Amino acid sequence: MSIIRTLLFAWGCLAALIMAFYAISWVVQADNPLRNEFGFGFGIGLLYGGPAWIGLPILVFIGRRELGQRKSLIVLSPVLVALASFALLAVMGGI
């Protein structure tokens, strides 16, 4: 179970970093004529991170006694970063 959790964590970190990069680029480069492409990059990160967004909360719930509170929060951090960048883009009007 810990191997699957580690793989999903790494997958989620990669996808969350991609999403955060494109969300920040979308917000910062408002005058860029290719701004629409940042939304596509964000969407690709969101889609490719799907297994991590679904699997990590399930595995944390299953192993909540084994992990404890601090490790559970660390394991869920890619999901939280993805949610924060999604909320940032939604509030700024990109979605």
Q: What is the pLDDT, as a whole number, of residue 11?
A: 92
CA 61, 55, 75, 40 dihedral sign is negative
With beta carbons less than 8 A apart as the criterion, state whether 26 and 94 touch: yes
Structure tokens at 48: 């490719």
Residue with tokens 């869920």: 76
Residue 93 zone, left/alpha/beta (φ > 0; ψ -120 to 50; rest): left
Contacts of 41 (CB under 8 A, 6+ apart): 18, 21, 22, 25
Query: Residue 26 sits in which domain range?
Result: 2-91
Look at the chain and report how many structural domains it folds into. 1
Under-50 pLDDT residues of the chain? none
pTM higher than 0.85: no
